[in-house]
Amino acid sequence: MQDEQNRVSRRTAGGTQTLAVLITAVFVLLTVPGCAFDREQHGPSDETTIIFKHGKIAGDPATFRRLLDRFESENPGLRVRDETLPASTDEQHQYYVINLEGGSTDFDVLSMDVIWVPEFARAGWLGDLSDLLGPGEENAFFPGPMRAVTMSGRNYAIPWYIDAGVLYYRKDLLEKYGFSIPLTWEDLVATAQEITRREPNLYGFIWQGKQYEGLVCNALEYIWSNGGDVLEEGRPVLNTARNAEAVRFMRELIVKYRITPPLVTTAIEEPTRHLFGSGRALFMRNWPYAWSIFEKEGSAVRGKTGVAPLPSFPGYRTASTLGGWQLGVNRFTKHPEAAKKLVRFLASPASQKALALSVGYKPTRKALYKDPDLLRQQPFMTSLYGVFLQARPRPVTPYYMMISQILQPEFSAALAGIKTPEDALASAQNQVRHLLGERP
């Protein structure tokens, strides 16, 4: 889920809508393979070509190509053509919706953000992959991703790699001033206030507060870690005292405790990562991708960074928003069995280990967190196991994308002080109730 940092709320009107339609039309023409050539013309007639659509793979593309070459060598007669979609997850989502709604057969396997699977499955766009998991094999994966891809007892995707929110901290400064890793939000506030008093050029705690999907991920971690939620048994439960307390605390980090700078209201993942990486922050909430960057030669925080679960409110457990990407099969594919073979291969222990070693993708299979090769190269993975084990998916509903569009401006208004937490949550509650009430 690093790509989740690109999701933002878009508003268009008048001539902008017309321009958007034209851009969409050009985008579809340029990205749908069938508009440019006949896929069956590629390769000898006795070979089957599987088209795999995905976002940009981290690192050197040749590394991933070698993995696909291995699949081809193990499956004579099958070829894989991987095609990269734009980096923006909004554009990827748009591409899939346009093409799958039209029953496109121009790709066979697709990688999906964890929040898209319920939507695509309900629309009838994904093949049932339940037969890819043998008896008990579901338990080999972290529970959060499996919940996110399972509807009505059927698996519509296989978890590929995982993300979850974590707390980064300056372990050198905690040691210098005699503080422990904070277990509660109260501990984090007290630690940050004391250390920044002695280190005046240091921000206490930075996170992602811009109005976009990342704000929802952050807000849910406060809400969940205070015993709250968004939906219970399919019904909205946003307008509660616990949720209001959690959202108010986010605002108070800026205006009351003053350990978070106002700039977070416009910040996404990379700006906060740059601030922490330049040695200007004590604590940061972000995704696991940042650690390997901090440990590179020349980094200002190399050897000084620790990773821990996010804190919680007293009496409740830590909570981390699940991110990551899943593998699915286009229900309209002409090659369902070949497509399933590729999904099984890419989600296998060997492939997940290879991607973890080469590009840093975190495996969804629990056993790999004890793999000696991985632990030798990425020792901080031991800290991530507990985080991933407890990571929670955002509301698993076909309507999540619409719910998020409701939550983003309401959370943003509360964070900016435009609305009280109670008013923002009451408004979100009414909108979500109306949204779900219009559905059968």
Domains and CATH numbers, the chain: 2-163+323-390 (3.40.190.10), 166-319+399-437 (3.40.190.10)
Beta-bridge mates of residue 111 = 327
pLDDT grade for 34, boundaries at 50, 70 and 90? very low
What sign has the CA pseudo-torsion 229, 233, 234, 237?
Answer: negative
CB neighbours of residue 39 within 10 Å = 18
307 close to 166: Cβ distance less than 8 angstroms: yes
- pLDDT of residue 348 exceeding 70, the answer is yes
Tell me what pLDDT residue 61 has: 86
pLDDT for 87 equals 81
The mean pLDDT value for 187-210 works out to 97
pLDDT value, residue 44: 52
Let me know the angle formed at the C-alpha of 261 by 260 and 264, rounded to the nearest 5 degrees. Answer: 90
Q: Give the tens place of pLDDT for each residue, 3-19.
A: 444 433 333 333 333 33
pLDDT tens string 275-290: 999 999 999 999 998 9
Percent of the chain with pLDDT strictly greater than 90: 82
* Residue found by looking up tokens 């993708």 in the block: 361
Phi, psi at 300, each rounded to 5°:
-70, -20
The answer to whether residue 33 scores a pLDDT higher than 50 is no
DSSP annotation of 424:
H
The angle that helices 213-224 and 241-255 make with each other, rounded to 10 degrees, is 120
User: What is the rounded distance in angstroms from the CA atom of residue 435 to the CA atom of residue 440?
Assistant: 11
Residue 25 has pLDDT above 80, yes or no: no
Mean pLDDT value across residues 24-30: 42
Q: Is the pLDDT of residue 2 over 60?
A: no
Q: Quick: pLDDT tens for 377-386.
A: 999 899 899 9
Report CA torsion sign: 402, 406, 409, 411.
negative
Cα–Cα dist 264/31, whole Å: 35
Taking the whole predicted model, whether its pTM rises above 0.95 is answered as: no
Beta bridge partners of 79: 49
Residue 28's pLDDT is what?
43
Handedness of CA 276, 277, 282, 285 (dihedral sign): positive
Structure-block tokens of residue 336? 């369902």
- If pLDDT is split at 50, 70 and 90, which confidence band does 45 have? low
pLDDT of res. 14? 39
Q: Please report the sign of the dihedral spanned by the C-alpha atoms of residue 198, residue 203, residue 207, residue 210.
A: positive
212-255: pLDDT as tens digits:
999 999 999 999 999 999 999 999 999 999 999 999 999 999 99
Ranking 29-33, 82-86, 187-191, 240-244 by mean pLDDT, the lowest is 29-33
Q: Is the sign of the CA dihedral 78, 134, 397, 363 positive or negative? A: negative
pLDDT tens digits, one per residue of 88-104? 888 999 999 999 999 99
Structure confidence at residue 19 (pLDDT):
38
| pLDDT at 322 > cutoff 80 | yes
Separation between Cα atoms, residue 263 and residue 254, nearest integer Å: 9
Residue type, 304: K
Q: Cα separation of 68 and 341, whole Å?
A: 12
Residues 375 and 357 sit within 8 Å (Cβ to Cβ): no
Contacts of 211 by beta carbon, 8 Å cutoff, 6+ apart: 8, 9, 408, 409, 411, 412
For residue 151, the cross-strand partners are: 154
Range 410-418 average pLDDT: 98
pLDDT reported for residue 143: 96
Residue 386 CB contacts under 8 Å (≥ 6 apart), including other chains: 309
Q: Within 10 A of 74 (CB to CB), how many other CB atoms are there?
A: 10
Q: What does the pLDDT read at residue 407?
A: 98
Per-residue pLDDT, 29: 41
